A and B are shown apart, each in its own frame.
Chain A
Amino acid sequence: MSALVTLLVLPLAGAIAAIALPSPVGRTAALAAIAATTGAAIVLMATVAFQGMPRLEMGGWTPPLGIVLVADGLSVALIVMTALVMASAGLAARHAFAPGTAGERAAFGFWPLMLLLWSALNVVFLSRDLFNLYVGIELLSLAAIGLVAIDGKATALAAAMRYMIFALAGSLLYLAGVVLIHAAHGTLDIDLIATRTAAAPDGLALALMTAGLMAKTALFPFHVWLPPAHAGAPAPASAMLSGLVPKASFAILLRLWFDTMPDRASDGALTLIALLGTAAVIWGSLGALAQVRLKLIVAYSTVAQIGYLFLVFPLAGGASAGVPWAAGAWTGAVFLALSHGLAKAAMFLAVGHWMAVAGSDRLSDLRGLAQLMPMTAFAFALSAVTLVGLPPSGGFTGKYLVMTAAFASGQWAWALVMGGGGLLAAAYLYRPMAVLFARGAQAGAAPPSRARQAVPLLLASASVALGIASAGPFDLLAIGRPLAAEEGL
C-alpha cells in the first residue's frame, strides 16, 4: 500500500524539488526521485506477484464518493515498463540536458516535466475512478505538450499547439462521457459502474469517451499530430512521448471496455474500432516508408504500432461466453503495448546518439554509423526485431497470442492485418538498417561513451527478454484480469 502512495508522491516531490532548488542540487534531486520511483515500481510488482493486489481508499473514503487505487497485473506491468523507460531517458538526459550543452530553458524544464509526466502515468495506471482518470490523463497531456515544446523552436511550438488541439478535444469528449455517466448512475467508480443497471446514456457516454481517448492515443484518423510532435522533441523526450504516453489512454480504453461496461459492446462498434486500427497500421507504415528523416520514420512507426493494439476489441470478443482464446487476445495486446514501449524508447535514444555524432537524422547522413557505434546499432536492430514481431521478442509473443485468437475465433482477417503489418514494418525498418550497416563511416563528432551507448541496448534487450521469459509477465497479467477479457466482450 505504501508503494502505491510512493509511486504517485515521489515523482511529484521530485518535480517540485527540481523547480525550487538551484540548478545542480535540483538536478540531483530529480535523479534521486527517478531512482527511488524505479525502486518503488519494482517493489509494487513483487507485492502484486506474491501477495495479491494492494488497494487503497484515499483518505479512508469508500466509493461511491471516495477514490480507489488498485494495482493489478495490468497496472504493475505498465508501471514497471514506464519505470524502465523513464530511468533510461533520465540517464540519457543527464548528458543531453547537461548545463551548457542544451539551452538553459530546456535544461531547467526537462526534469520537472519528466517527473510530472511519470506521476500522471502512474495515476492513470492505478486509478479506479473515471474522474480521477480524467485528471490524470489531463496532467499527462499538459506535461507531454510541454516536453514537445521544450526546445522552444518555432516548429516545435507549432507541433505542440497541434498536439494540444487534439489532446484538449479528447479531454472534453472524455469529460462529456464522465458527466453523462455520473448523471445516470451517481458514481464514477469503475467497479460500481460495472455492477450498475444499464441506463440509456451509457452507449453515448462510452462512444464519447472512446472517441476522446482515441484522439489522445493518436489512432487513425486522429494521428496527424503525432509524427511532428514526437520527431521534433529531443531524443529522451521522444522516447517517453512515443513509448509511454499513448499507452496511458490505451490502458483507460481497456479499463472502459473490459472492466467498466463490457455489456455495452456491440459487434459493429468493435469492428469499427479494429478497422481504424487496420487503417492506422497501413497508413503509419506507408508514412514511415516515405520519410527520409530517421526520427520521422520511428514516429510514423508508432502510428502503425498503435493500430495493432486496437485489434484486441473484436478479438477478445465474440458472441459466446467463455471462449478460450479471448484472454489470449487481451494479454497479447498488453504484450504488444509493453514491448513497443521498450523498443520504441530504445530506438529514439539510439537515434539521439547518432544525431549527436552526425549532426542530423537524415538517412543519407547516417551512412556507416554502425561501424562507429556498434552497440547502438545493435540496439536499433533488436528493437526492429520486436517491432516486426520476429521470435523470440516480446512483440512476437504479443502477435502470436493475438493471431491465435484471430484464427481460433474464425476472424482471420485481423490476423492478415497483423502479418501484413509485420511485413510493412520490416520494409520501413530495412531502409535505416541498410544505411547504418553500409560501408563508409563518416568522421563526425566523437561517439558517446560505452556506458551511454549501453542504455538503449539494455532497453532493447528488455523488449526481447519479454518474449524469451514471457511466462512471468503472462502470469502477472492474469492477476486481476477482468472477467470480460477472459470471456469476451
Chain B
Amino acid sequence: MTALSLFAVTGAVLIGIGFYGLIATRHFLRRVVAFNLIGSGLFLFFGATGARGGVTDPVPQALIITGIVVAFSASALGVGLVVARARLSGRAALPEEEDGA
C-alpha cells in the first residue's frame, strides 16, 4: 500500500467511525465529535486526492484550511448549544432521545 492510499483509506475509516458515532450515540457532545471525525476524514481524503500523479495540487490544501475553520465554528456553536441546554435542563441529549444520555 502506498503512502497515498494509506491516507485515503484512513480518511475513509474516519468517515465510517464518525458515521457510526453519529447514529449510535445520543449525547450531543459525542455527536459533535462524530461530525468532526467525518469532517476530518473527508479532509484527509481530499488532501490525498490532491497529491496524485507526483505533483502536489495546492488547491485542496487551501480548501481544507477553509473547511477546518468552518468546521471549528460549527463545533463551537454545537458545544455552546449543548452547554446552554445542560445548564437549563441538566440534559445533554434531544428530548425525544433522552433515555440513553
- For the complex, what is the distance from the CA of A162 to the CA of B31, rounded to whole Å? 11
Chain B positions within 8 Å of A142 at CB level: 73-74, 77
A241 to nearest B CB, angstroms? 16
Interchain CB contact under 8 A, B66 and A157: no
B52 to nearest A CB, angstroms? 8
A387 to nearest B CB, angstroms? 29
Interchain CB contact under 8 A, B42 and A138: no
B10 to nearest A CB, angstroms? 15
Q: Kindly identify, within residues 37 to 76 of chain B, every residue whose CB is under 8 Å from any CB belonging to chain A.
A: 38-39, 42, 45-46, 49, 57, 59-60, 63, 66-67, 70, 73-74
- For the complex, what is the distance from the CA of A149 to the CA of B82, rounded to whole Å? 11
When C-beta atoms are compared, the residue in chain B nearest to A138 turns out to be B70
User: Helix, strand, loop or mixed for chain A's interface?
Assistant: helix
Interchain CB contact under 8 A, B60 and A182: yes
B95: Cβ under 8 A from any A Cβ:
yes
Q: Kindly identify, within residues 148 to 173 of chain A, every residue whose CB is under 8 Å from any CB belonging to chain B.
A: 149, 152-154, 157-158, 160-162, 164-165, 168-169, 171-172
Interchain CB contact under 8 A, B74 and A158: no
Interchain CB contact under 8 A, A158 and B42: no
Most B C-beta atoms less than 10 A away, residue of A152, A183, A186 = A183
Interchain CB contact under 8 A, B70 and A152: no
Interchain CB contact under 8 A, A158 and B77: no
A93 to nearest B CB, angstroms? 21
Total interface residues on B, CB under 8 Å, equals 29
Checking A135, A157, A171, A182 against B81 with a beta-carbon cut-off of 8 angstroms, the contacting residue is A157
Chain A positions within 8 Å of B66 at CB level: 131, 135
Q: How many A-B residue pairs have CB under 8 A?
A: 73
Interchain CB contact under 8 A, B42 and A176: yes
Chain A positions within 8 Å of B42 at CB level: 172, 175-176, 179
- For the complex, what is the distance from the CA of A142 to the CA of B70, rounded to whole Å? 10
- Given A142-B73, A169-B22: A65 in contact with B85 (beta carbons within 8 A): no
Interface size, A (range)? 20 to 34
Interchain CB contact under 8 A, B35 and A172: yes
Chain A positions within 8 Å of B81 at CB level: 145, 149, 157, 160-161, 164
Checking B28, B39, B74 against A161 with a beta-carbon cut-off of 8 angstroms, the contacting residue is B28
Chain B positions within 8 Å of A135 at CB level: 66, 70
Checking A131, A138, A158, A172 against B85 with a beta-carbon cut-off of 8 angstroms, the contacting residue is A158
Interchain CB contact under 8 A, B85 and A168: no
Interchain CB contact under 8 A, A164 and B78: yes
Interchain CB contact under 8 A, B94 and A182: no
Chain A positions within 8 Å of B67 at CB level: 134, 175
- For the complex, what is the distance from the CA of A154 to the CA of B85, rounded to whole Å? 6
B6: Cβ under 8 A from any A Cβ:
no
When C-beta atoms are compared, the residue in chain B nearest to A172 turns out to be B38
Chain A interface residues toward B at CB < 8 A: 65, 131, 134-135, 138-139, 141-142, 145-146, 149, 152-154, 157-158, 160-162, 164-165, 168-169, 171-172, 175-176, 179, 182-183, 186
Q: Give 6 pairs: A residue, B residue, CB < 8 Å, sorted on A.
A: A138-B74, A145-B77, A152-B84, A157-B85, A165-B31, A179-B45
- In the complex, given contacts A142-B74, A154-B89, what are 19 additional A-B residue pairs having Cβ atoms less than 8 angstroms apart? A134-B70, A145-B81, A152-B84, A157-B88, A158-B85, A164-B78, A168-B35, A168-B74, A169-B35, A171-B74, A175-B39, A179-B45, A182-B46, A182-B59, A182-B60, A182-B63, A183-B49, A186-B57, A186-B59
In the complex, the 4 A-B pairs of residues with the closest C-beta atoms, listed nearest first: A183-B49, A157-B85, A179-B46, A154-B88
